[in-house]
């Protein structure tokens, strides 16, 4: 799991965001996801072979990753890696092959962009899905 900062430069014209350390050459496609409501969960989706990257383009989200031990019946006690991504503090989270991922949007109109290193047809041949609460890190602790 790798997370990269996105840098921002601001001047009198506006701002520019970039991440020159993010290698786009391995990715073959991208797709955007935008939930209609905040606190909506999309989970769990995993791949043995496919790797991905994700960034939040608007709003914020908690993205969770689980390294799968058995694709047919994974343990419910696997470690859950939590990442909070937001437009205000932009980052790119790289999701290695062998992981399931899911996310909850934390603000209205949150938009995420996912990058994939496999075509859609290749991805569908390597597609594993589990119930949204198979692992349940979704409770937000109000402080």
Predicted pLDDT of residue 133: 95
Contacts of 76 (CB under 8 A, 6+ apart): 134, 135
Q: What is the mean pLDDT of each run of 10 residues along the chain (143 residues)?
A: 94 94 95 93 97 97 98 97 96 98 96 97 96 93 76
Predicted pLDDT of residue 140: 77
Question: Among 120, 124, 126, which Cα is nearest to 49's?
Answer: 126
- C-alpha–C-alpha distance, residues 10 and 40, integer Å: 33
Q: Left if phi > 0, otherwise alpha if psi is -120 to 50, otherwise beta: which for 59? A: left
pTM of the model: 0.92
Report residue 59: phi and psi, to 5°: 80, -145
Predicted pLDDT of residue 26: 95
- C-alpha–C-alpha distance, residues 104 and 113, integer Å: 14
């Amino acid at each position: 799991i790798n997370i990269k900062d996105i840098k921002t430069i601001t001047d009198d014209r506006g701002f520019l965001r970039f991440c020159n350390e993010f290698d786009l050459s391995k990715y073959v496609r991208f797709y955007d996801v935008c939930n209609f409501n905040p606190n909506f969960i999309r989970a769990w989706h995993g791949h043995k072979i496919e790797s991905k990257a994700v960034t939040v383009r608007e709003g914020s989200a908690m993205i969770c990753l689980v390294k799968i031990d058995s694709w047919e019946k994974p343990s419910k006690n696997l470690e859950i890696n939590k990442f909070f991504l937001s437009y205000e503090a932009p980052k790119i989270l790289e999701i290695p092959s062998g992981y399931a991922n899911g996310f909850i949007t934390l603000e209205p109109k949150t938009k995420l962009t996912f990058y994939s290193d496999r075509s859609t047809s290749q991805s569908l041949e390597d597609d594993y899905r589990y119930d949204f609460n198979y692992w349940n890190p979704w409770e937000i602790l109000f402080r």
